[in-house]
Amino acid sequence: MNILILCTGNSCRSQMAEAWLKQINPSLNVFSAGTIPANEVHPLAIKVMKEANIDISSNKPKLVDQFLDKDWDYVITVCDDAKGSCPFFSGKTKNRLHYSFEDPSKAKGDKDFIWEEFKRISLEINHVFFFLNEKVFGNDDMICTETNCPEYDKDTKKSCQGCK
């Protein structure tokens, strides 16, 4: 299953969502991009994910345009800005989802408050994508009843997405 996660800068929320979803379900092909990518992944996004034992320090923000020629099972926007910028996403998309997470990079306050905002948003993203995996992307969604499917695996009962 191919999943593209979009936000504006691809420096915080979409990077964390991509990392969490890859951690939750490594069988998914997950990518993230931005409509106006930042120059780098936000250092506090890297730090908060590192605390969860997930390394995104080598990730780079990417422009959504490089993903337009691919087929997507899901395109998920994670901020209102990206949702407004992406209605003309011309890639082949089966499903679109939207979740609005606050941008922790725009938090105002002292260092401790901003750090707590990054942790809060990361946890919110984790919970939403854990739920999505359980209800939408998870193994139960991939049980195949067509045993003549060439991709059917008797042990895992998994096959192509068309044989659900």
Q: What are phi and psi of 63, to 5 degrees?
A: -85, 135
CATH of residue 28's domain is 3.40.50.2300
User: Would you name the residues annotated as active-site residues?
Assistant: 7, 79, 86
Domain tally, the chain: 1
Q: What is the pLDDT of residue 87?
A: 43
What type of residue is 139? N
Going by their DSSP bridges, the two strands 29-34 and 71-77 should be labelled as unpaired
Going by their DSSP bridges, the two strands 71-77 and 2-7 should be labelled as parallel
pLDDT values of the chain reduced to their tens digit, one per residue, 164 residues:
999 999 889 999 999 999 999 999 999 999 999 989 999 999 999 999 999 999 999 999 999 999 998 999 999 989 866 556 554 466 788 888 889 899 999 999 999 999 999 999 999 999 999 999 988 886 544 434 444 455 545 555 454 444 43
Alpha-carbon distance of 116 to 79, in angstroms, equals 19
Domain limits at 106? 2-163
Q: Which of 13, 2, 20 is nearest to 38 (CA)?
A: 13
Strands of 2-7's sheet in order across? 29-34, 2-7, 71-77, 92-98
Structure tokens at 131: 């739920």
Q: Give the 3-state secondary structure of residue 56.
A: coil
Only one residue has tokens 């969860």, namely 52
The CA distances from residue 107 to 55, 57, 91, 103, in Å, are 23, 21, 33, 7
Q: What are phi and psi of 42, to 5 degrees?
A: -60, 130
Q: What is the pLDDT of residue 81?
A: 63
Q: What is the pLDDT of residue 35?
A: 87
Only one residue has tokens 């979409």, namely 14
